Structure 1
Amino acid sequence: MYKQVLDPVGDSLFLSALVAMLPLLTLFVLLGGLKLKAHVAGLASLAVAMVIAIAVWGMPVDTTFAVATEGAAFGLFPIIWIIWNAIWIYNMTVETGHFAVLRRSFATISDDQRIQAIIVAFCFGALLEALAGFGTPVAITAVMLIAIGFKPMKAAAIALVANTAPVAFGAIATPIVTLAELTDLPQADLGAMVGRQTPLLALFVPLILVGMVDGWRGVRAVWPAALVGGFTFAVGQFVSSNYISVELTDIIGALASVAAMVLFLRVWKPGEPLLVKGQGPAIAGAATHDAEFERDVRDSRADIFKAYAPYLIIIVVFALAQWGPLKDFLAKGAAEFTWPGTGDIQNADGEAPSATTFKFGWLAAAGTLLLLSGLITMAVLKVSPAKALKAYGAMLDQLKWATLTVMAVLALAYVMNLSAQTLSIGNWLAGAGGILAFLSPIIGWLGVAVTGSDTSSNSLFGVLQVTAAKEAGLDPTLLASANSSGGVLGKMISPQNLAIGCAAVGLDGEEGELFRRVVGWSLALLLIMCVLVYLQSTAVLSWMVV
């Protein structure tokens, strides 16, 4: 029997936390400092975590390897299962030429790349996050940005930064639902509190996206459109989470935002639009295109409909999957079992950690729904089975290193979590006393940076935040919500999502460069969230607390 301990190093939580940080330090130094490929950095960091788990935390060797295999399996399903099918759908649209039509269609809304970045990455990405989550928005919006003329690295960076404000309510508010179940706090209160934190991010993110595209010149030129998109999303997110439905928060915010943008652009245009001058091959196998030449192409309504069809199909399929009777039917395909070799793990209370239970919900999985969407897309776009199979094979080859990266990173997360290394770090941070409110979002950020999931971070640290809040005399709902709100900002630097972003745009091995492009924004927005939560814990903004 292996019982988790928090202070194996000299009975000191501080020293234990420092040792526990070594795998993460290894990961980010190898990735961002030495510029090694993500799968190499992930495997090296996994090895460090396993050695520490065995030698310092005393986890048995066979249990450590069992935990690592469970994490790798979780990385494959449901995470990579989602990405495989999302990129497969994209490959089919490239093969049929419909992605070129989509690119031209977006240009009719606005031919300004700065505004296109907001509409595609922020507005449409939020809708995808609402329905699917787990990396799907990054994968799909990154290739959509390439389709309208963005260079691959910039497209991936924009997609990652845009995937922030909606994350806490992603996948029909799965992070909030999970947090409520684990902490026994009312779901409505948690959703309302998060809805009074993340809308602030929505005000900044569109402006940041514009700056990433065209610097301060771009911000000065199109700030009215950026504020319309961000403000409308923020209002929609706040109103829905507090007064309508926690589950529908991102759907309402995203639809309101894109509608406001479209209406606003009918009466306002930037003085000097930033146009695409031309673009080389975006993704391996994709055809070159010249946006200046394509500006004179006129597509039929049928072609435009087919270009949007895959994404409309995805929205309809995911929306129907949340309908009561169908949702219950899909849930019947789920299977849960204790992962072999992990049944002897106990937490400090003598109970088996929830992470030792592997949930194989294959029928309701987002990846399976995307597979179904792809099959329907085949029929709509008239793709033959042979061509669809060829596209799937090309996708598997394209994502081979990303698959290995995600499996390695999730194996790392599971070893750190179940050996209690992550808990040692979290508990050490939680002992900060009055400053805990400021540090609370950092704990959530750390959890998402490691696991790539706000749901996983809430599972890992939600109860810890509530316990620490009670000990420090702070509001438990505030700190539990801060865990989720701070966590969304770790999404863009998670190796899992970095690998997804690079794989989606055909830049395998460039995860280190992508990390350097987004880490500054992650830290800057995290600081804003820390200040907000701290002020909410004081008399200054206490009126915002549920």
Structure 2
Amino acid sequence: MYHQVLDPLAHSLGWSSLVAAIPLLVLFVLLGVLRWAAWIASLISLVVSLVVAIWLYGMPVGQSLLAGTEGAAFGFFPILWIVINAIWVYNMTVATGHFDVLRRSFAGVSPDQRVQAILIAFCFGALLEALAGFGTPVAVTAVMLIALGFAPLKAAALALTANTAPVAFGAMATPIITLGAVTGHSSDVLGAMVGRQTPVLSVFVPLVLVFIVDRKHGIRQTWPVAVVCGVTFAIAQYVTSNFISVPLADVIASLVSAGAVVLLVRVWQPSVTYTEGGSTPPVIAGGAADEPPADFVRRVEHPDAPREVVRAYAPYLIVIIVFVICQIGPIKSWLGHATYTFAWPGLHAVNAKGGKVGSVTFTLNLLTSPGTQMLIAGLLTMIALSVSIPKAVRAYGSTLYRLRFAIVTVMAVLALAYVMNISGQTITLGTWMAGAGGVFALLSPILGWIGTAVTGSDTSSNSLFGALQVTAAAKTGLSPTLMAAANSSGGVLGKMISPQNLAIAAAAVGLDGREGDIFRRVFGWTVLFLAGICILVVLQSTSVLSWMVP
């Protein structure tokens, strides 16, 4: 039995925190400064975290290794299980030529790639986040952008940046529900509070997306679309989370914003149409849309047959339908019978107070996992697109081969996260930050940001730091509801620099080994957005905006 110690170095939280942060610093330096491949950086950082756990925290070697194996298993299921099946569905549409049809169809809505980026990365990505979460939006929207002609690095940056504001309500508000469970506060109240923070962020995200695509020209020429999208999403997310249903916040917001954009572009188009200079998508996991630019333009001018357009959209309609059906109460309950929860064999740990460490328990949700539901959607896609079994198997095999480095990266990063969590390194960092007194209102979102950056999941970040946020709020006289919500709202911004999501994005766009380049593209945005959320939370903790706290 391993008993966590939070201040192992000279009984000082400060000094202990400095050492506990070393694995994270190594990871981000190797990725962002030295630009090492993510799978190498992750493996090295995992070794560093093991050394810190064993040498400084006194965690037995066997327990440390077992913590790493549990994290690696969680990295594969459910996270990689989702990504593999999502990209497999995409590869089948590529193999049948229907992604070319989809690409032309989107160009028919608006030939401007700045508008396409908003519709796909933000609106459609938000819907996927609402229904599935756990990396699905990044995997799917990145390959969709690639097929529409976006440069790979830009497509990855767009997918990651867009996957922010919707994250707190992702997977039918799983992060909020988890936050309520670990803090003992009502998830409806917490959801309402988050719904008064992330909508402010969502107003600006579409503007950032068009800036990423076309810099200042994008802002100047397409700001009406970006503003309409951001404002309608923000209003719908706020209204839904506060007055209708927390789990449905992103579903309604994504549909409302997409509808608003489509209606706007029917009566208004940018004065100058922007495209990536006729770029052709690269091969992704065994074949991608490779239609010559001239043929693409000619085919857009002469639309595909309605039947083929319907078949091109069918895989994504199937994904939505499958996920919605699986969220229906009785069906979800029935699927839940195939969920098995068990203590990770041989791993025994208690926290500093002698209580059970929740992360030593592994949940194997065979049927409720979004990855399994994506697999079902893939099987239905085979039927809809008339894909033969041998062709589908070849596509699956090429997908696994293409994702081999991403698989190593995600499993290594989750192993690192579990070693840091179970040994107490992450809690040391959080407890030290919680002792900041009144300044904690400023640090609270940063704590959530760190948690998501490490684990790749706002849900995991809330599990790690939710209760800590409430305890710190009580000690400093701040609102527990505000601080708990700030953990989730700040956490959504750590998603774009999480090594596991960087690996997913890199694999999706064919940039394996260049995760460091993607990291550098999005790091400035995560810092800028985080600063904005920190300022908002500080103002909400004072009389200036305290009226926003329910």
Partners of 1:43 and 1:79 in 2: how far apart? 18
Counterpart selection for 2:433 from 409, 429, 434: 429
> 1:294 offset after TM fit, Å?
1.4
Correspondence 1:493 to 2:500: no
Partners of 2:196 and 2:283 in 1: how far apart? 39
Partners of 1:248 and 1:80 in 2: how far apart? 25
Partners of 2:51 and 2:276 in 1: how far apart? 50
Mark the runs of 5 or more structure 2 residues left unpaired by the alignment: none
- The answer for the alignment partner of 2:278 in structure 1 is 278
Partners of 1:217 and 1:320 in 2: how far apart? 42
Correspondence 1:290 to 2:292: yes
Partners of 2:289 and 2:186 in 1: how far apart? 51
CA contact (8 A) 2:146 2:281 kept: no
Count of aligned pairs between the two proteins = 545
Partners of 1:206 and 1:277 in 2: how far apart? 22
- The answer for the alignment partner of 2:343 in structure 1 is 338
CA contact (8 A) 2:280 2:293 kept: no
CA offsets, 1:354-388, max 9 Å, x none? 10000001111110000000000000000000000
- The answer for the alignment partner of 2:82 in structure 1 is 82
- The answer for the alignment partner of 1:329 in structure 2 is 334
> 1:172 offset after TM fit, Å?
0.2
CA offsets, 1:234-253, max 9 Å, x none? 00000000000000000000
Partners of 1:142 and 1:421 in 2: how far apart? 33
Q: Spell out the pairing of 1:4-403 with structure 2 (5 A cutoff).
A: 4-284=4-284, 285-297=287-299, 298-343=303-348, 345-403=349-407
CA offsets, 1:441-492, max 9 Å, x none? 0000000000000000000000000000000000000000000000000000
- The answer for the alignment partner of 1:521 in structure 2 is 525
Moved over 3 A (4+): none
> 1:292 offset after TM fit, Å?
4.1
Partners of 1:405 and 1:341 in 2: how far apart? 25
Partners of 2:184 and 2:340 in 1: how far apart? 25
> What is the identity, as a one-letter code, of the residue corresponding to 2:145?
L
Partners of 1:394 and 1:406 in 2: how far apart? 19
Partners of 1:382 and 1:337 in 2: how far apart? 40
> 1:20 offset after TM fit, Å?
0.4
> What is the identity, as a one-letter code, of the residue corresponding to 2:296?
E
Partners of 1:283 and 1:448 in 2: how far apart? 31
Percent identity of paired positions between Structure 1 and Structure 2: 60
CA contact (8 A) 2:97 2:289 kept: no
Per the alignment, do residues 225 and 281 of structure 1 end up closer, same or farther by CA in structure 2, a change over 3 Å counting?
Answer: closer
> 1:295 offset after TM fit, Å?
2.3
Per the alignment, do residues 292 and 115 of structure 1 end up closer, same or farther by CA in structure 2, a change over 3 Å counting?
Answer: farther
CA contact (8 A) 1:84 1:396 kept: yes
> What is the identity, as a one-letter code, of the residue corresponding to 1:295?
V
Mark the runs of 5 or more structure 1 residues left unpaired by the alignment: none
> What is the identity, as a one-letter code, of the residue corresponding to 2:146?
I
Partners of 2:170 and 2:420 in 1: how far apart? 25
> 1:42 offset after TM fit, Å?
0.3
> What is the identity, as a one-letter code, of the residue corresponding to 1:327?
K
> 1:351 offset after TM fit, Å?
1.7
> What is the identity, as a one-letter code, of the residue corresponding to 2:275?
L
CA contact (8 A) 2:168 2:175 kept: yes
CA contact (8 A) 1:132 1:171 kept: yes
Correspondence 1:442 to 2:438: no
Partners of 1:506 and 1:360 in 2: how far apart? 30
Partners of 1:205 and 1:383 in 2: how far apart? 37
> What is the identity, as a one-letter code, of the residue corresponding to 2:315?
P
CA contact (8 A) 1:277 1:290 kept: no
Partners of 1:287 and 1:236 in 2: how far apart? 35
- The answer for the alignment partner of 1:482 in structure 2 is 486
> 1:291 offset after TM fit, Å?
3.6
CA offsets, 1:191-228, max 9 Å, x none? 00000000011111000000000001110111011000
Partners of 1:130 and 1:388 in 2: how far apart? 27
Partners of 2:343 and 2:238 in 1: how far apart? 39
Partners of 1:251 and 1:481 in 2: how far apart? 20
> 1:276 offset after TM fit, Å?
4.2
User: Once superposed, what is the RMSD of the aligned Cα atoms?
Assistant: 0.8
CA offsets, 1:52-91, max 9 Å, x none? 0000000000000000000000001000000010000011
The two structures have a TM-score, normalised by structure 2, of 0.98
Partners of 1:507 and 1:541 in 2: how far apart? 43
Correspondence 1:454 to 2:458: yes
> What is the identity, as a one-letter code, of the residue corresponding to 1:90?
Y
Secondary structure in 2 aligned to 1:382? coil
- The answer for the alignment partner of 1:2 in structure 2 is 2
> 1:289 offset after TM fit, Å?
2.7
> 1:277 offset after TM fit, Å?
2.9
> 1:287 offset after TM fit, Å?
4.5
CA contact (8 A) 1:168 1:485 kept: yes
Bigger mean CA offset, 282-291 vs 48-57: 282-291
> 1:290 offset after TM fit, Å?
3.2
CA contact (8 A) 1:111 1:273 kept: yes
> 1:296 offset after TM fit, Å?
2.2
The two structures have a TM-score, normalised by structure 1, of 0.99
> What is the identity, as a one-letter code, of the residue corresponding to 2:314?
A
> What is the identity, as a one-letter code, of the residue corresponding to 1:539?
S
Secondary structure in 2 aligned to 1:256? helix
Partners of 2:270 and 2:397 in 1: how far apart? 43
